[in-house]
Amino acid sequence: MEEFTSELFAKAGFEPEEFEELNKELEPVIWDYILTKLIEKMTPAQQNEADNLLDNDDGEGFHELCLKAIPDYDDYFAKILKDFEEYYLTEIQNDEDDEDEWEEDNTK
C-alpha cells in the first residue's frame, strides 16, 4: 500500500518528506474505501462472513473469501485503486482551486 500512496502523493504534488505523515492520515481512509467496494460485490451471506472475518482481524480469511466471491478479483482490486486515485487527485485539485479563489477574494 505504501508504494501506491507514495505514487499518489507524488502525482498530487506533495514533497517526499511529506509522504510518511500523509500516509498515516490517508491509509485508514483507503482501506475503508477498498473494504467497502469489495464487500459491495458480495452476496448478503458473504457480506456477513466478511464482517465476521474483519471483526476477528482475519485478513487472510477475508482475502480468501474475496478471491472466491469476486470474479476477476485482481482486476477489480486494481480498478478500486484507480478509482480512488482519480477521486483523490480530483479532490486535491478542487481544494487548490478553492484556496486560489479564497486568495483572490481576500487580496483585492
Under the banding of pLDDT at 50, 70 and 90, the label for residue 16 is: very high
pTM of the full predicted structure? 0.80
* Structure confidence at residue 93 as a pLDDT band (50, 70, 90): confident
Q: Is the pLDDT of residue 101 over 70?
A: no
Domain count, the chain: 1
Backbone CA torsion sign across 30, 9, 70, 59: negative
| Distances from the Cα of 17 to the Cα of 37, 64, 84, angstroms | 30, 36, 22
Confidence of residue 1 (pLDDT cuts 50, 70, 90): confident
Domain that holds residue 38: 2-106
Q: What value does the mean pLDDT of the chain take?
A: 89
Chain Cα centroid distance, residue 27:
7
Q: Give the pLDDT of residue 102.
A: 44
Compute the distance between CA of residue 23 and CA of residue 108 in angstroms, rounded to an integer. Answer: 36
pLDDT at 99 over 90: no
Q: How confident is the model over 33-76, as pLDDT tens digits?
A: 999 999 999 999 999 999 999 999 999 999 999 999 999 999 99
